[in-house]
A and B are shown apart, each in its own frame.
Chain A
């Protein structure tokens, strides 16, 4: 940000209305700027005061709902938690586009059908063991540590729409769903790690990743889908051993961790 703080910023937004426009175009808006204006605040100002037809999705404004991921200056991020001053160039401008590689519904809203379809495909829910403990599952701090990172994913789609493989084919499961698969495969409570790894062993699974690392750079929660994908690749090669180890581990799930 320049020394003398400007009081306005130019927000360039990619517009597209499928009813009237043949292709997307950029439109400039001038918005008031303070040190604590977020990009989302600027979008709200535009919608409320300058152009009510501007369309974008947002919900919580606390970086936890995952609705407001957008492409800002070529980088995917959550607009609700990013100050406008941080993304302005020397001339006080910023360019906002919808997430890449996904069909645009209108303006900054994209069609996430393939994103959710791939998510569902990895069965993101926990498959509990037959012998459910009466009180609670007992899991060691190390086991929690291994999956904690993956648990904090907010499904915003920033990684998915930065992935070059997704750009080429929507058949690929994608970093978001593979991170979720990783979470379930490593969770000691999950009863079907072998089945999950077998499902992932096809050509659309972790082996399709080209290790481009865009997902890591795009993630607003600083998660590491690439490492999860690498781990899934290794585990898929010893699927039966993983399955056996899980059966053994689940015999002691109800016991205090120190005795396991």
Chain B
């Protein structure tokens, strides 16, 4: 195993990518319950709006934010000659993703605590 910032970024990118695909299937299942009628849809929605799912939503946000900004980082590497800054760019992508996760996570928690 050859560990480096690039390696960590690669592993995170793969895991978040797979997580997002799994989420997509779950999302389709939830929305698909609408074909069973309004009552079934409401029941499914009630489940995914429960506190455990809200907490998982923060993890989903983290995965989306990291995957997106790591993708932006890679696009910059592809189109500009910035390889000398490869480590800083990885930290930047991570920091921006962490920032958006923190802000979004706080909003989700706030909604959970005060509007439940």
Contact = CB atoms under 8 A, between A and B. Distances in A.
B86 A213 contact: yes
B59 interface: no
A211 B74 contact: yes
A224 B7 CA distance: 17
Nearest to B73: A211
Interface of B: 1-7, 9-10, 74, 77-78, 81, 83, 86
A100 B2 contact: yes
A213 B2 contact: no
A219 to B, nearest CB: 12
Contacts of A213: 4-6, 83, 86
Contacts of B74: 211
Nearest to A234: B78
A227 to B, nearest CB: 5
25 contacts: A100-B1, A101-B2, A162-B2, A164-B10, A167-B2, A211-B6, A211-B77, A211-B78, A212-B4, A212-B6, A212-B7, A213-B4, A213-B5, A213-B6, A213-B83, A213-B86, A214-B2, A214-B4, A214-B6, A216-B86, A217-B4, A218-B2, A224-B83, A227-B81, A230-B78
Contacts, number: 46
Contacts of A74: 2-3
B111 to A, nearest CB: 37
Nearest to B90: A213
A10 interface: no
Given A76-B2, A162-B2, A214 B7 contact: yes
Contact of A227 (B3, B10, B83): B83
A217 B2 CA distance: 11
Nearest to A74: B3
Nearest to B86: A213
A222 to B, nearest CB: 11
A210 interface: yes
Contacts of A233: 78
Contacts of A216: 83, 86
A164 B5 CA distance: 12
Contact of B7 (A161, A164, A230): A164
A227 B77 CA distance: 9
A226 interface: yes
B78 A164 contact: no
